Structure 1
């Protein structure tokens, strides 16, 4: 006897559940693969003990074989061995979480990399060995509920709180590595690489995007986020053209439209009031990215026309925003609280998002903080009333600021408002 077909929503839900289960299975297999790399690393140690003068060649040979057998790059093989060694030696809880499918190999890569200053400080005797366990516990709590991209800035915040002095030293050393390089590619292209302090790299990218947006607006009314109607250039192409124009002509040319010289870069930085006043040298925070050297943060604050004062509760959540130059209070609060798009997993900066009524204004939703959030254009569109109800999402804000999205098949997904760095 044939079973009755599943209703459309149930069918979609069943496929989603199967996909989530398969992803967890993949993570568990990644954990098993990491264990195999760790076991191979133990054999490497034994080989080196037997022939120490050829340590480098023995490792290069091992990496080359795994790269060839796995059809992966040398760099990927090296990173795999490094992560496996870190899990085996320093991070037992992360190791268990990966084996259980609670986090992915991408999470491990992010967490191990972010922990480098803590590991360095422990090895140098500047921090107790137990500090690594503190980092691991705090970072894993984030990773189990966030994407790798969102986990990274949180992990870097934790590292900054635990090993701030080490990070300041690393930043000072790394500043001497800034450089511009060029490598020819095929078809008349070349790869121009700039290694810069992160805050300036973020600012450069922000200005290029802002300029490209302004150019697209001047091309024609049919311009879309993906393509510009009049000449067919993508936004990435416009950004590249603007980059060339700015470097070679110093100011935007007429070909890119008028008035672009008034568009400036925007970055969002959080700094303790005592650090801003020069009373201490606590690390600041480049929101959405990670720690920022206090000297750079103070310099940015001196140049800013205005800045927000944030009031935090004991958990590091924004409770109030004050600003010394006039602007719209609600917008300031939301930008400060949300930092990025409030759809689960999205990390589009709040400055490029739309402020949305979670409960539609036309349906009685109030214009108040408890009913407003930042959504990027792509995720904002998921709630549009002109979308068929069978494909429309809804969002509801809980008392603690968490956004609860409900999918067309009735599944709920929570997005917690990001906590700010606590200067301790």
Structure 2
């Protein structure tokens, strides 16, 4: 069957203009992204020249420059430092790719594919030959189609065998967590593909077995007494939902027998999470109750918070302002411990602009150094992760307390950034609080 062309000449001309303009805009965006990359590479070279008198190492110089740019862009300095390193590597090791990127012929996604495949080619001449082949293909293909071709081409120029590289890659096996919206999160596992696929396959088999068992129970219940309802045995969970539930059950309650100690210590280890729960959430069973807060991640639903709180062996109570969420006090009186609990509740994460590392993993830093007469008091303390604690002391970054836990940071070039404590978010009015407030305060 023949397919006719667009019959409306006006719409045909308009579509042609749209395609041409989108193509031109895309090329301009690629050129701008290439310019940004080149500037970050320049920033990396500036850092290599160690422009600050008070910085005595290349690492600290790179950190000082990356934090300067990150604060101006309101991004993580780790991200910017990584981008600076990638941009410098692009200019130095992949000049043909950088040139095509700068001309707008390929996108940042193409650049990532080429660098990912070519990064392990150690010899500069071999890498240049790899580039000559792959860049030409990149200018005519999508990143997804380019990826397998680039990986295959790179293999031809690799000096080390796949077996040797895999053995080394296994040493980098790891897990990490990513927060998602609506009280959800991801647990990412990086490891040998055989093990990862076997884990997924076993979870699938377990899920299918549970489905079959519940379906069998539901069918048999039809022959049981009239008090038994088949729906009581119905399992409406999807295969994906069952995989997650079963893996969680295995990880949280099972003991890894292959690694267990003689004393059975691994079987006694339980997961640890920190949550902040508004008091009214514990007593108000309405669906609109304020969510609790999983430290370092974000909000979690009130029902989960009540379960965790009810099963906790103990918890620290923190009195907060019912509207602003500002921490007002804590329940125990042991000076040093009380100050630490107060700081954890107030700061909740590293207080360097853009950093989110949990406060319980941070250092208690004296804003004015203790060695220089700084007091060990709440007005002179803040939580910094080790990276930014070192940054404060070994680069030109400076910080001072403005009161109420508010910090003012001054960058190496003199820019000012104010970081406010996040506190505890609430979603109630003062009238709601007055109506629900018990006759006697709990503290």
Range class of TM-score, shorter chain: 0.3 to 0.5
TM-score, structure 1 normalization: 0.44
Larger Rg: 2
